[in-house]
Amino acid sequence: METLRYILQYRFFHKQQIIKLELGYREQDELDIRLPML
């Protein structure tokens, strides 16, 4: 049971990290789009 909980926690953490990366890339894209307009 301990290993199962560990795996679930790891997968949840991994998902969070992926979401953060995707959001970061999205924000970076928006910045890249805005900069030429300035």
Dump the DSSP string for 1-38: -HHHHHHHHHHHHHHHHHHHHHHHHHHHHHHHHHHHH-
pLDDT tens digit sequence for 6-29: 888 889 888 888 888 877 777 777
Q: What is the pLDDT of residue 33?
A: 67
Buried-exposed string 1-35: b where 16+ CB fall within 10 A, e elsewhere:
eeeeeeeeeeeeeeeeeeeeeeeeeeeeeeeeeee
What tokens appear for 38 in the block? 């300035």
Higher pLDDT, 28 or 4: 4
Q: What is the pLDDT of residue 36?
A: 66
Is residue 38's pLDDT more than 60? no
Q: What is the pLDDT of residue 26?
A: 74
pTM, whole model, 2 decimals? 0.47
